[in-house]
Amino acid sequence: MKLTQSNIKKILYIACLVSIVFLIKPSLAFKPNGTHREYGLGVDKEGYKRSIYTMPVFVVVIVVLVNKFVS
């Protein structure tokens, strides 16, 4: 992959969006007790709700959207 001007712009958009969301909504990545959130449905062994919408899923969605809509 060559680092063209378009690719650099996409990388910057992705990094900025992920950083902003991580600072505003850290509950996507962490439970209230500070440990990492588990992926899945139901409840984990500590009693916290598992979630399908976690930080790695958010990053994948952002990458797909940026690749589709940013030229």
Residues of the domain holding 28: 5-69
C-beta separation of 24 from 38 below 8 A: no
What would the pLDDT profile of 19-34 be if each residue is shown by its tens digit? 999 899 888 888 888 8
Using DSSP's 3-state secondary structure scheme, residue 9 falls into: helix
Percent of the chain beyond pLDDT 90?
44
Q: Tell me what the pLDDT averaged over the chain comes to.
A: 89
- pLDDT value for 60: 93
- pLDDT value for 15: 94
What would the pLDDT profile of 33-47 be if each residue is shown by its tens digit? 888 888 889 999 999
Using DSSP's 3-state secondary structure scheme, residue 13 falls into: helix
Token pair listed for 35? 């440990």
- pLDDT band, residue 61 (cuts 50/70/90): very high
Calpha distance 50→61 (Å, rounded): 19
Number of structural domains in the chain: 1
